[in-house]
Amino acid sequence: MTSVDNIKSALARIASQADEAIDVAEAALVLASVDHPASDLAIYRDHLKDIAEGVHAAAVDAEIDTANPAPEDMVRVINKVLVEDFRYAGDEETYDDLDNANFMRVIERRRGLPVAIGILYIHAARAMGWGAAGLNFPGHFLIRLESRDGRRLIIDPFHGGRPMETQSLRELLKLVRQDAGAELEAVHYKPVSNREVLIRLQNNVKTRRMELNEVNGALEALSNMQILDPENAPLWREAGVMHMRLGQLKNAVEAFEGFVARAPEGPDRRKIGQVVQELRERLH
């Protein structure tokens, strides 16, 4: 059994690494263990090794150039392992289930949210030394596979790793934005950092906890996000709001002060500064 404090320390060690050194699958397991500290992560780590070995074997069997495969070949062999062999899929029936954002439960159930399934695709590709990154696409996590010579392919991990051409991306954007006039922009093709992938995963936990009115649980998820990205000013402001909702005024002051220390000069910073002063008066 591992204590939550030890898990938080492990998360802090991960966060202290350079972003490119972060193993997103391992970090996702550590995040998942916060809610299930008694779980043995070795079981899940072994499964991740099985995925990596399976992709290598599938690539050899398919006789592709493993050193510099085309992105179409990458997704073909990854899908062979994740979709055909291990039966991973997006959970469309119980999409809002908290288990879909917990990486351990995703591995057990073979079902999850786009970002959770996406982390498996990233893990599978990177285990082979292939280029893979999440994209800054709103509302639905996508993956970009890239060969060493610059060939790229965008795929949807939630729907069996299907390739996403421009028209498919445009239709998806209109759907998630609920705006028939929405158009693709350069920012939607921008790769996100490993930290941003993990924060996106944990944000799903926070959102679902809030929907269930589990503010303490949402605050726990938010604190994990702060460990991953301590200089992210909006996270400190959000933590302050949650502490206020729980009546924890001293903690709210500390969180809001964290926001003021990190936020750029502007109306938001001044407004929160005023809130800090008002809360201090209430505390005294």
Within 13 A of 110's CA, how many CA atoms are on the CB side? 12
Query: Range(s) for CATH 1.25.40.10 in the chain?
Result: 195-283
| Class of the CATH-defined domain 195-283 | mainly alpha
State phi, psi for 41 to the nearest 5 degrees. -70, -15
pLDDT tens, residue by residue, 227-251: 999 999 999 999 999 999 999 999 9
Q: Which tokens in the block code for residue 278? A: 């008002």
- Nearest to residue 262, comparing CAs of 216, 222, 231? 231
Say what the pLDDT of residue 37 is.
86
CA–CA distance, 69 with 147 (Å, rounded to integer): 6
**Residue 237 host element (H or E):** helix 233-245
CA–CA distance, 38 with 71 (Å, rounded to integer): 39
Coil vs helix vs strand at 25: helix
Residues in Cβ contact with 4 at an 8 Å cutoff, skipping those fewer than 6 apart: 34, 37
pLDDT tens, residue by residue, 257-278: 999 999 999 999 999 999 999 9
- Nearest to residue 153, comparing CAs of 72, 73, 76, 81? 72
Residues of the chain with pLDDT under 50: 1
Specify which residues 112 forms β-bridges with: 90
